C-alpha cells in the first residue's frame, strides 16, 4: 500500500502569543488573510484560524471578526479552513462554538479535556508591552482552567453535528485520548477521527519523543485503524517533533500560534516561513506533502463548497 502523504496544518495566530512578542504575529484581518494565503502557497493544506481584535490584537470570538478574513482566504486558496473552538480561556463553550456554528467550516478544533493551561512565565521576558491588556493576560494565565467537561464536549458535538464538520481532536495528555474513546463509544464522534497530539504546553504532557511514542501507542490501542493523527510541538519542540511525526507516518502542525521562532533564538518572519521549513524537512526525508484535496480525501471532509462563508 502506498504511504499516505503528510498533511501540513498551519495555525496562523492562536490565543496565546501577543503582539509584543513578535511583529510577525498577525492580528488585523488583512494580516491574518495574507499570512494564511501565503502559508497555503508554501504547502499548508489546512489553515487553523483564530480571530483577533483588529485594534489591539486581543483574542476575539466575535463572528464579525472572522467574517473580515474568512471569505478572502477562501477566494484566494483551496486550503481547508479549520476554525478554532478554543477561543479565549475565559469564554464558555457556548461562546466558543459561535464562529463554527455561524460559518460551518470543513473542520474545527475540539479540545478533549479540562486542564490547567498556562503561559505565565512569558510575562517575565518583556519589560514593556505594546497594548495595556497583554501583561495581565499573560501573567494571570496561571489562574486559568481551560474548561472542556464531558457536558461541554457533548454540547458542542451535538450542536455542530448537523454541519458535517470534521473535528481536530486536540489531546494535551494521554487521558484526553481516553475521553475521546468514551465519547466515540456513546456516539458523539464517528470514525475516521483526526487527533492532534499536543506537546509542550504548561499543564499538558511534555515534549519528549518518548511521550509521542506513548500517545501514538495508546491511540493505536484505543482506535485501531479508525484514526489519523498529527503532532503539535509548542515552542522549541515544534520542528523536532514535527519531523519525527512525519517519519512515523503522522501529519504535522506548525504556525505562529504554536511557536514564534524559525530556529533557536531567531523569530520567524511569517507563518509561511515555518511551513516552508517543515515542508523542506519532510521532503528531504523522503515524504510527500498532501494537497488540500488529498487532505480532504484522507480525512473524509465535506468539501469547501459546503461551508457558509
250 in Cβ contact with 216 (< 8 Å)? yes
Question: Which backbone phi and psi does 284 adopt, to 5 degrees?
Answer: -65, -30
pLDDT digits (tens, 9 = 90+) for 208-220: 999 999 999 999 9
Please give the Cα distance from 215 to 90 (Å, whole number).
28
Q: Which residues pair with 145 in a beta bridge?
A: 116
**Secondary-structure percent of the chain, ordered helix, strand, coil, rounded to 5:** 45, 20, 35
Ramachandran category for residue 193: left, alpha or beta (phi over 0 → left; psi -120 to 50 → alpha)? beta
C-alpha cell at 140: 494571570
C-alpha cell at 292: 488540500
What's the pLDDT at 90?
A: 78
DSSP state of 289: B
Please give the Cα distance from 256 to 163 (Å, whole number).
28
Please give the Cα distance from 239 to 109 (Å, whole number).
21
Please give the Cα distance from 117 to 111 (Å, whole number).
12
Count of H helices and E strands in the chain? 12, 14
What's the pLDDT at 2?
A: 47
**CA nearest neighbour of 244 among 232, 256, 257:** 232
Please give the Cα distance from 301 to 272 (Å, whole number).
24
DSSP state of 292: H
Angle between helix axes 209-223 and 238-247 (nearest 10 degrees) is: 40
What's the pLDDT at 87?
A: 81
What's the pLDDT at 242?
A: 98
Please give the Cα distance from 106 to 305 (Å, whole number).
9
What would the DSSP string read from start to end of 50-105?
A: -EE-TTT--EE--HHHHHTTHHHHHHH--PEEEE-S---TTS-HHHHTHHHHHH--
Proportion of the chain above pLDDT 90, given as a percent: 96
pLDDT digits (tens, 9 = 90+) for 132-185: 999 999 999 999 999 999 999 999 999 999 999 999 999 999 999 999 999 999
Q: Which residues pair with 146 in a beta bridge?
A: 115
Listed as ranges, residues in the chain with pLDDT below 50 are 1-2
Please state, in angstroms and as integers, the Cα–Cα distance from residue 93 to each residue in 8, 17, 28, following that order: 27, 21, 24
Residues in the chain: 309
Amino acid at each position: 500500500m502506498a504511504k499516505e502523504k503528510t498533511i501540513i496544518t498551519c495555525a496562523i495566530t492562536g490565543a496565546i502569543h501577543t503582539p509584543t512578542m513578535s511583529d510577525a504575529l498577525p492580528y488585523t484581518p488583512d494580516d491574518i488573510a495574507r499570512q494564511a494565503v501565503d502559508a497555503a502557497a508554501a504547502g499548508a493544506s489546512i489553515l487553523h484560524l483564530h480571530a483577533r481584535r483588529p485594534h489591539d490584537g486581543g483574542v476575539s470570538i466575535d463572528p464579525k471578526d472572522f467574517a473580515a478574513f474568512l471569505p478572502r482566504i477562501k477566494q484566494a486558496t483551496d486550503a481547508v479552513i479549520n476554525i478554532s473552538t478554543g477561543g479565549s480561556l475565559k469564554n464558555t463553550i457556548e461562546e466558543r462554538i459561535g464562529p463554527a456554528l455561524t460559518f460551518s467550516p470543513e473542520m474545527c478544533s475540539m479540545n478533549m479535556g479540562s486542564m490547567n493551561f498556562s503561559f505565565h512565565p512569558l510575562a517575565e521576558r518583556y519589560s514593556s508591552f505594546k497594548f495595556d491588556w497583554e501583561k495581565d493576560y499573560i501573567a494571570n494565565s496561571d489562574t486559568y482552567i481551560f474548561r472542556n467537561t464531558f457536558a461541554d464536549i457533548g454540547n458542542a458535538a451535538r450542536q455542530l453535528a448537523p454541519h458535517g464538520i470534521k473535528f481536530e481532536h486536540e489531546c494535551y495528555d494521554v487521558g484526553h485520548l481516553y475521553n475521546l474513546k468514551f465519547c466515540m463509544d456513546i456516539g458523539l464522534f464517528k470514525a475516521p477521527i483526526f487527533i492532534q497530539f499536543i506537546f509542550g504546553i504548561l499543564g499538558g504532557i511534555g515534549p519528549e519523543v518518548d511521550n509521542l511514542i506513548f500517545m501514538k501507542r495508546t491511540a493505536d490501542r484505543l482506535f485501531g485503524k479508525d484514526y489519523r493523527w498529527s503532532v503539535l510541538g509548542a515552542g522549541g519542540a515544534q520542528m523536532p517533533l514535527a519531523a519525527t511525526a512525519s517519519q512515523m507516518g503522522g501529519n504535522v502542525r506548525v504556525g505562529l500560534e504554536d511557536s514564534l521562532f524559525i530556529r533557536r533564538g531567531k523569530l520567524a518572519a511569517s507563518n509561511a516561513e515555518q511551513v516552508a521549513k517543515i515542508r523542506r524537512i519532510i521532503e528531504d526525508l523522503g515524504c510527500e506533502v498532501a494537497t488540500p484535496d488529498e487532505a480532504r480525501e484522507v480525512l473524509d471532509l465535506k468539501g469547501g463548497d459546503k461551508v457558509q462563508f
